[in-house]
Structure 1
């Protein structure tokens, strides 16, 4: 992805996991043995950022099919180029947020440096009225 940048802490945390190669290889082996399986990668907060990298890793570097990414309270993990390309390469990705959670708003957006600030990939489901109807979700569409 030319021009794409990601948060270095999340990137290094994902790529330094000692179990990463084993997990990725196990998914590919399962596909070889049993055919194309649906794979869902999920995570909460920082784990959500790492799950988003894992889903993209499976699609781009391992050519896995049917990968779904579902994150909860994920912080922004890449610049605008990364976020827009992410949706093209991993179209089955959804972020679930709670309106009162600060983490999805981090790192903060800097309007003076829009090219250098962090963005989310689109497709968000938000639960803004959690105190009134805990199971009432709001679909925010592909524009986040």
Structure 2
């Protein structure tokens, strides 16, 4: 993974401390298990896909709270009475957190073929959506004023 140095930006910006600390923390050595993808599935739709092979629905939890999406996986020990010679399939507990933007809500989650799909939708309120402003001319206002 690449490491980016944001320190030159610190001296030329004011009020972006939280943004830079988030970038630095995202840039730090983050856990790599389980692997995941984030994709755009539509203009305002996104999907997070996590590889959670070996985990059942009862072993996983997905929680959205205050702009943080948390995915946890805890599996009960199944090795009792088994003599495992080689362990290549990871089944350790994990917790992965994603920062989600304002006006983004979790639409649902689906476990399919060892992949956990979490669908997200961005819903901007009407007041936040761009709107077209008509441009009038000064001569049209004068004609309307004289007509009254």
Query: Which bracket does the TM-score occupy, shorter chain normalised?
Result: under 0.3
Query: Which has the larger share of helix?
Result: 1
TM-score (norm 1): 0.26
TM-score (norm 2): 0.26
